[in-house]
Amino acid sequence: MKTTKTPADAPAKDIARFGRADGADPDIDREGGKWNAGIIRGVSLASVGEALGHGMWLDQTTIEQVAEYAQSTGDTGLKCRFTHPGMSSDGMGRHLGRLFDVRVEGEKAVGDLHFAESAHKTPDGDLAEYCMMLTEEDPKAAGLSIVFHHDFNAEYEFQSDHEEDYEYEDHRGRTIKSKRFKSPDERNEHNYPHVRMNELRAADIVDEPAANPDGLFDRSPLARQADQFLSYAAGVSDTKPGATTFGIDGDRASQFFDRWLESHGLSLVSTEVAAMANDTTPEVPATEITRKSLLAEQQRYIDRFGAEDGVKWFADGKSFEDCLGLFADKQSELIESLTAERDEAIEKLASVQLGEDEPIETYPGEESKKVPFSQYVKRNKS
């Protein structure tokens, strides 16, 4: 079964938050930058590799797109905030500054973070100074996470251009042929879809380190939290989400969901179970082939079609029904041959002369006493 996603299948909300990517050997100047409020040079926005927790892959084209769209902001620069906005909060009060001079260096997109003066006087305190101090003390503890719009058409086209044929066995033991995406990057062992974007909106600082040495992505995105919460509420997962997720207790949400299903006469059934329930194809019992059963089947061929043809057709793997047709053809040919031989024999017998048609002269001079030779012989015997 192939699961290729088309543009029509893409989610309506195409904003993605991928991060985090660390900066290497940070260069900090507290009095530098566009607004003389501080700058961190050479911060990394994104790197080639897996988007941890997102099941997607950034290749060199993605990195070049990050640099291209960041550069397209011109003198305005790319927005940078202190963590991503949440479900109940926007980015107000968390603005840090802007990213400029974003470029590609090897397999990374890097740029310079210019802090705004207002970032030193936010409702939550001096966030600019906090970020610079954290970068000095523990560079791996903070990194940038990009926010962008997916280009679903480009992603689908790339996926379609890199498909391979494969076979798999379904639950009935049948071999199914299909196609699947095969990443051209050998490092993408899980063949994650390659990211393509058509807009870059921001690059925010996040604080949770990623498993990858380059710190590629924030592994606790909003989508994953929502999936965990809903999976627990629906009884799909036994792992209870944190009590602070969306401000709702998981057990209370699960109880409410159960009551809601019951009141509407509904139940949850996995698509696989539903498909099996709707499948009316009768099960074909498996037949165990033994030496005894094999010999018995061969003897059935011999009894019906004779030793020569029965053994040959059985060895050739012909079905019993096919052999019946072959046998009927051979019998028809035999009947035609025998019929032709019979007609030939009748024709030969018809041409044999057993006596004379004219009487022979047995008593010369006495016309009345001329009789056929057979009568003459008969008279003499008597």
DSSP state of 250: H
Q: Give the pLDDT score at 246.
A: 56
Q: Give the pLDDT score at 180.
A: 92
Dihedral sign, Cα of residue 244, residue 245, residue 248, residue 251: negative
Over the range 306-325, which residues count as b (16 or more CB within 10 Å of their CB) and which as e? eeebbeebbeeebeeeebee
The fraction of the chain above a pLDDT of 90, given in percent, is 30
Q: Under 8 Å CB-to-CB from 85, ≥6 apart: which residues? A: 91, 94
Q: Give the pLDDT score at 232.
A: 77
Q: Give the pLDDT score at 255.
A: 80
Q: How many CB atoms lie within 10 A of CB 358?
A: 7
| Banded pLDDT at 169 (limits 50, 70, 90) | confident
The beta strand positions in the chain, using DSSP E, are: 15-21, 27-29, 39-47, 49-51, 56-58, 78-81, 95-105, 108-115, 143-150, 163-169, 175-181, 197-206
Identify which has the larger pLDDT, 32 or 314.
Answer: 32
Which residues, in sequence order, are bridge partners of residue 49? 58
Distance CA 114, CA 231 (A): 41
Closest-CA residue to 37 (of 163, 138, 127): 127
Q: Give the pLDDT score at 198.
A: 94
Q: Give the pLDDT score at 325.
A: 86
293 exposed, middle or buried (CB, 10 Å; 0-12, 13-18, 19+)?
exposed
- 158 φψ region: left (φ > 0), alpha (ψ -120 to 50), beta (else): alpha
pLDDT tens per residue across span 349-362: 776 655 555 555 55
SS3 state at 199 = strand
SS3 state at 126 = coil
Relative orientation angle of helices 291-305 and 320-350, to the nearest 10 degrees? 20
Radius of gyration of the chain (CA): 46
| Banded pLDDT at 208 (limits 50, 70, 90) | low
CB 380 within 8 A of CB 360: no
One-letter identity of residue 104 = V
pLDDT tens per residue across span 372-382: 666 665 666 55
Mean pLDDT of 69-98: 84
Distance CA 323, CA 327 (A): 6
* pLDDT of 273 above 50: yes
* pLDDT of 229 above 80: no
* pLDDT of 25 above 70: no
Identify which has the larger pLDDT, 274 or 213.
Answer: 274
pLDDT tens per residue across span 315-358: 888 888 888 888 888 888 888 888 888 888 887 777 665 555 55
Q: Give the pLDDT score at 55.
A: 84
Q: Give the pLDDT score at 18.
A: 52
Q: What is the DSSP string of 7-76?
A: GGGS-S--EEEEEEE--SS-EEETT-STTSS-EEEEEEEEESEEETTTTEEE-HHHHHHHHHHHHTTTTS
SS3 state at 167 = strand
Distance CA 57, CA 196 (A): 10
Mean pLDDT of 189-214: 76
The answer to which of 26-40, 75-89, 137-151 has the lowest mean pLDDT is: 75-89
* pLDDT of 252 above 60: yes
SS3 state at 213 = coil
- Average pLDDT score over the chain: 77
The answer to which of 160-164, 182-186, 187-191, 301-305 has the lowest mean pLDDT is: 301-305
pLDDT tens per residue across span 33-55: 999 999 999 888 888 998 877 88
The fraction of the chain above a pLDDT of 70, given in percent, is 71
Closest-CA residue to 35 (of 126, 97, 102, 103): 97
Cα of 10 vs its chain's centroid, Å: 16
Q: Give the pLDDT score at 162.
A: 95
Q: How many CB atoms lie within 10 A of CB 339?
A: 10
Q: Give the pLDDT score at 210.
A: 35
CB 151 within 8 A of CB 110: no
